[in-house]
Amino acid sequence: MSLPNRALRAIMLLCGLILSACAHERINRIKPFPPGSHSAIQPVARMDYDWWAPRQEQVLERVRQGNVGMILIGDSITHGWDGETELWTKCFARRNAVNMGFGGDRTEHVLWRLHNGSLEGISPKVAMIMIGTNNSNGDDNTAAEIADGIVAICREIRLRSPETKILLLAIFPRGEGPSAQREKNARASLLASQVADNKHIFYLNINDRFLGPDQTLAKDIMPDLLHPNHQGYVIWAEAVDPVIARLMGEDGAK
């Protein structure tokens, strides 16, 4: 004998709640942080820079147009893709990518942007993240705090766009040779990499491609020992392209 409609609806509602709870639990394996812990996880804007808000609006306008297959999240190093028109067209434009790199940004600024529309109405297949070097200046943040900020970004993306696969890059090397700051960034990257599950979040360290055998960073790749030139962006693109192709499910990807 079939169940009365009211009982059937109740059972279907219960099943839906159970499935929703399971999905929520998977996302919340990336644990939230207590409010007020430290600066790297406290969302904050940079409205005191006259270019920052217009760039944010420009990004949001592109997001409102939809059809976003990929996003790049970062600071000036990612922002610099704007100057690599030909390489961008070859590697990212065909993937309907949006450059969400902002010069000078730290993890807390990325968090603010994610809280304020960067993912509204879109579900990109891939988000590539490379952030944190600006948090490492002096005593601004510890390696553990920088890692917290990076993980908080990953969590925010997972909550707002659960189907998006995250490609988390190690913070790029900076300075001519090994240093305390480079070591801090390396430690932060290693700590943050623990969030990778190779299902939704994937970690990739391409730093050796920028360094010589003695760990020296060449000025013909990063002239100011921080920002890539064209050759540096070529190295970056070649290193991540096959991984992005695989995460996006492109035909022929290995």
Could you list the active site residues? 76, 224, 227
Task: Give me the helices (H) in the chain, please.
Answer: 5-27, 52-65, 76-79, 85-91, 107-115, 143-160, 180-192, 230-247
Pick from 128, 141, 138: nearest CA to 206: 128
Q: For 170-189, give one letter per residue: b (16+ CB within 10 A) or e.
A: bbbbbeeeeeeebebbbbbb
Assess contact for 91 and 82: CB atoms under 8 A.
no
Report the 10 Å Cβ neighbour count for 107: 30
What tokens does 80 get?
């610099």
CA gap 232, 235 in Å, rounded: 5
CA distance 186 to 114: 25
Residues 6+ apart with CB under 8 A from 220: 229, 231
